[in-house]
Amino acid sequence: MGGGRILGGIWDCRSLTPLSRPDTHRNLAILSEAEAYVRSVQDARERFAPPFQRAFVDRGTDVVDDRRSSLIIDPPTGRYPPTVLGAVARSRAAIGSYAEQPFVTYTQLNLLDRCLGTIGFPFIPEPYNNNVQIFQTPDVVALLAESVHFVRIIPLDGRPSSGLPQFGGNGRGRWDGDTLVVESANFDGELAMLGVEPSQLVERFTRIGDTLQYEFTVNDPKMWATTWTARVPMKRSEAPLFEYACHEGNVSLTHMLETARALDQ
Query: What span, in angstroms and rounded, lies between the C-alpha atoms of 205 and 216?
Result: 9
Q: Give the residue from 183, 163, 164, 187 showing the smallest Cα distance to 173.
A: 183
Q: Which phi and psi (to 5°) does residue 56 adopt?
A: -75, -15
Expressed as residue numbers, the domain containing 84 is: 3-264
This prediction has a pTM of 0.88
* CATH number for the domain that contains residue 139: 2.40.128.20
Q: Which positions of the chain have pLDDT values less than 70?
A: 1-3, 47-49, 51-55, 93-102, 117-120, 191-196
Distance CA 83, CA 26 (A): 18
Q: How many separate domains does the chain show?
A: 1
φ, ψ (nearest 5 deg) of residue 90: -65, -40
Distance in angstroms between the alpha carbons of the first and the last residue of the chain: 58
pLDDT for the residue numbered 51: 63
